[in-house]
Structure 1
Amino acid sequence: MAKRRKNIDESQKLELLQRMEAGENVSKLASEVGISRQRLYEWRDQFRIHGSLKSRRRGRPPRSTAGRDEVSAQPHGTANVQEPQEKALTKAKRRIKELEQKVGQQQLDLDFFREALRHFEEDRRLSNAPGETRSSGSLKK
């Protein structure tokens, strides 16, 4: 396993996530950097939810410099989470649309092949009817 790093900056995290999304083996990627696979998945989830990878300190959030009226107008964290969630929703809707188009194309292909099979079986049935000449096999005996 590679030597463990204490701090990985945001640009390096983004690069790792891009490689992860491109299909690289997550275990090998984590081992290369010296972190756990779980950490990569945590970063991915944090990026999807919050839209950034800046480290979030545990504990009490910093005091807001905004006035009391502004703070009470919005539930805690709504403004920060809403935009990335909207982006994720838009991305999900786009993916759903792509998949629906793919299913539609597959249905067209399925209908085409069913019809072709029906024609093939009908021609075969007609050629096997009484009085029709059957296709002959090999003429060798």
Structure 2
Amino acid sequence: MAASAKNRQYPTAYKLKTIKRVEQGEAVLPVARELGISRKLLHDWIKAWKAHGPEGLNRKPGPKPGPRKLKPLQPEANKRSALARANARIAELERLVGRQQMDIDFFRKALRAMERPATQGKPASASSKSSKP
């Protein structure tokens, strides 16, 4: 039963009458439920009506015959994407350099901190060692 409802053909006058009800302010879902059709089908009818007029309501679903309209390749889009990739790589490298600089600064401070106590403690310990007989 669902298969027969799916393949059912509706007259153009019926579709137009249904579309006019929605255009006059009735909500799509209640109209679709009342008529026993899907909300999507009613939206498709409205879309076809707005795009092609009454002829659009009798079109068969699926791909249309004739050459397909493909979007031409835009070299500018490829350039933009290459530029975006380059900018992302630059940002990544800048973050890496920043992290490395922080590491270098940390180890410099640590090395200085280790060298200071060693130089301050040496003269005192050297004088105590030389006083022994």
Q: Select the structure with the greater relative contact order (CA < 8 A; seq sep ≥ 6).
A: 1
The normalised TM-score by structure 2 is: 0.40
Q: TM-score, normalised by structure 1?
A: 0.38
Name which one, 1 or 2, has greater alpha-carbon Rg: 2
Bigger proportion of residues as helix: 2
